[in-house]
Structure 1
């Protein structure tokens, strides 16, 4: 079930304030992979996944400046999520199993900024950034490896072979800071033929891949630069688009995510390396 309620007020012709309240839900389900294993380790309740429910409040301003050549939008938000769904790996008598389960409730709050500027008739600049403080209010997850195998730990004590509270943990996959900066340059040559160039740099701060915030699941901060240049050639009401592009131009090595594979190890999903190519598209 989902709902949306929005109210806005125009303070001036170029300043609009708004308040939005929304609700949403991610449907529940069942752990159908290796069905007998979760049940054997954790009981039949481990087979069921409850719906994940979200409530969001957002307050912001949309403004325009210099005859609408510059647009600056900002907002603050507060999101509450109950029965957050996440994949965790647990161990029982040397058997490791990955489960999609409801790990707990969380609160996410922060601020977002978006700026677009038409610098010239040919050049468009854009920048957006966000600060997000997302932490778990309650819940539990498998104990991090370092707490029972690390320095000072006692692997024989059995500590960590179960679950511990994740209250106060940072939400996995939610960096505190994100930022994107880009430009688009367009100009006409030889009649209606248009040449364009687009460049974008995206950056995000470090984050954890696992809900238990294990130090082994930490993904360091990284930034990626993409570049595209090409030509748009109209043909009647249709259009050809020929472009050359480079993704991750500076060949930054980073992980998209990490998965707890048990026995003190994480399996990483590596991001795409520098990729250069060309595309031909026909729009009709």
Structure 2
């Protein structure tokens, strides 16, 4: 969504077809919350209702190459160099490796491997007015002789314009506030929250199972973010909005209180 906004292909008022399923390469892609035939959703609604069909429709406007480029800009497919050994780079599919069904799977994340830290850093770019700042877990190291070596400064780069980043934040608030949205349990009393649920079937020994990998990643206060919190879990059942969102709410609420962040004084945007 951020990529399509940055490229001028959509606005918050753009509507896309959201009834399905779509079939790509013989594989059907449907929504967990199916819409009636002929339904069109705005982009905030696509996010709020986790519409795979609507997301794929937006991705079609971008095309494989731009999707791949923005995945890289957001830090996917490469290590963050956070300072600890053994960090995974995850995995991206370059366009030349896309199968006939990849135009459906890649935009909704099921052909992408990413660590939670990579995802948190990507949301951090949205929170930080479009600037990606590589995360750091190590401040400094001390050798056997007592010499202290500070970690190198984190990599930074421009991913989105400040205006687009702010627009993405406003749209992500729909995930928490719209009736029927998947992330309503991520709300933090007194604060505006922007974020997104994630739910995917877990892959075990090369086979999809009925168990889920779920997440909620978000930021608060949405109008001027101070913190990003990312929560993930592997569970036998349940979705990101049921499992991860309430945990996010607890952690974010505790963090905002602990660091005395003033409550929001404005209301979330009104969505058409």
TM-score higher than 0.5: no
* Greater strand fraction, Structure 1 or Structure 2: 1
- By percentage of residues, which structure has more helix? 2
TM-score w.r.t. length of structure 2? 0.26
Instruction: Kindly indicate whether structure 1 or structure 2 has the higher relative contact order, using CA contacts under 8 Å at least 6 residues apart.
Output: 2
TM-score by length of 1: 0.25
The structure number with the bigger radius of gyration is: 1
